[in-house]
Structure 1
Amino acid sequence: MARIVDLSIPISDDLPRWKVEVNKEFPEFCHQFTAVTMSVHTTTHMDSPLHYVEGGKAIDEIPLEMTMGEASVVDLSYKGENEAITPDDLDKNGGHIQQGDFILLRTDWPDKMWGDMDFWKKSPYLTEEAAAWLAEQKPKAVGYDFPQDYAIRLIEDGRPDKADFVVHNIFLPKGILNIEYLTNLKGIKGKRVKFMAIPLKLKGVEGSPVRAVAVEE
């Protein structure tokens, strides 16, 4: 029997970074009717190329084949605060990656720091060289349980330049999707697994929350 592993962070109105407004009504024709206002980049979500590429594919244009398939889990859980993830780390731990995979980078960072702004300010991050290494593997997407670009920690002090987000700038123009803010990657037992992260079909939009799951046979 297949084992399903939930890799998604819940969306709620008490998140440390994103403003989420939840308005509940109790009209006569049903028990509850809720409106939610939030960024499409809230908690576990997918970025489409339009996020960084003018004229790039919007999230509703992403083929379903790009949202599910084989994944490789790369264990980087030894990485600590503000540590760079380098090509050497990926060489040592990513030998099982295959072309066309989803590459899931596991640091267990949500277990260490979720719920605090230090999740963004002190996280491990990918170097530009590591992002180039990953792009050379020709994955469908790369998923992370940590903020992958060093530049995100600079936002509170004034918005950094678009060019500073080196991972976004390497992947999205190549059609490699970002799946951000995964959690519970430690719940996957093997190095290879079936994976899916299906976005909402939001027309003309550059991203969407996803329910990300792994399926182990």
Structure 2
Amino acid sequence: MIIDLTTKVREELVEPWLAKQEKKHIALGHVGTHLDTYLKSEIPLEYFKTRGVLIDASSYSEKREIDIKDVEKYEIKKGDFVLFRTDRINKTYGTVEYFKDHPELSQDLIKYLAKKEVAFIGIDAAGIRRAGEHTEADKYCEEKNVYVIENLSNLDKINFDEMNIYTMWLEDKEATGLRCRVIAEKRD
């Protein structure tokens, strides 16, 4: 079974917002499912295929930060893609409600995952931290060779525990957000 985790964004949603952006090329990299790379580090090619670990935080992520205690029961290994399901993506991507006070990971959890040397932290929300802490959290992760992928979708369709995640991106010397395609595949 294969599930596309990439958020498809309608042009009519993007065009009005993009028209207001000074650096359209840079802004476009942060639309839909994308990988943040503020430090412009080179993403290891072996990150293309990773083992996936899905954390279903949908029942509590709107009420509190997702913390270490929420992931302790999972076996998280070096090189994993840790996916956080919050169901925020179901609040209509691109609306003010989607971006306002979105679910976030605790600072301790971000450090914990970086120490575990995961490859990716993915979330079906606008980021792993809000507002002024958003970029700093992404930079911290990138310094540790961990990359944050935002605005995932269809995490609620994953009904299997063992999976491979395939992540495809194109390098860009200017963009701080790299649009990407993310696919989950059930492992036999």
Determine which of 112, 116, 138 is the counterpart of 1:137.
116
1:9 maps to amino acid: T
**Using a 3 Å threshold, how does the CA distance of structure 1 residues 86 and 170 change in structure 2: closer, same or farther?**
same
The code of the aligned residue for 1:140 comes to: A
Deviates more, 1:77-86 or 1:4-13: 77-86
CA distance in 1, matches of 2:109, 2:142: 15
When the two chains are superposed, the root-mean-square deviation of aligned CA atoms in Å is 2.6
Q: Does the aligned pair in 1 maintain the 2:129–2:137 contact within 8 Å?
A: no
In the aligned structure 1, how far is the partner of 2:100 from the partner of 2:129?
9
Q: Which among 143, 166, 169 is matched to residue 199 of structure 1? A: 169
| Larger strand proportion of the pair | 1
- For 2:116, give the aligned amino acid: Q
Work out the percentage of aligned pairs sharing the same amino acid.
Answer: 26
Structure 1 residues 75 and 149, CA, compared in 2 at 3 Å: closer, same or farther? closer
Larger Rg: 1
**Do the aligned partners of 1:140 and 1:176 also contact (CA within 8 Å) in 2?**
yes
Which residue of the partner structure matches residue 46 of structure 1? 35
Which of 13, 17, 20 is the matching residue for 1:19?
17
Structure 2: how far apart are the matches of 1:106 and 1:68? 20
1:84 matches 2:65: yes
* Match of residue 62, structure 1, among 19, 36, 43: 43
> Which residue does the alignment assign to 1:146?
125
TM-score by length of 1: 0.73
Unaligned runs of 5+ in 2: none
- Structure 1: segments with no counterpart, 5+ residues: 22-35, 153-159
2:100 alignment counterpart:
121
Deviation readout 1:156-187 (Å, 9 max, x if unpaired): xxxx4xx6645224311111111111011111
Q: Which residue of 2 aligns with 1:30?
A: none
**Alignment partners' CA distance in 1, 2:97 and 2:79:** 33
Residue pair 2:33, 2:151 contacting (<8 A) in 1 also: yes
| Structure 1 stretches of 4+ moved >6 Å | none
Question: Secondary structure, in 3 states, of the residue corresponding to 1:168?
Answer: helix
- Encode CA deviations 1:27-51: one digit per residue, 9 max, x unaligned: xxxxxxxxx9652111101123xx0
| Deviation string, structure 1 residues 105-160 (Cα, Å, up to 9, x no partner) | 111211245342111113211111111121122101111111334432xxxxxxx4
1:167 lines up with 2:146 in the alignment = no
Residue 211 of structure 1: aligned partner: 181
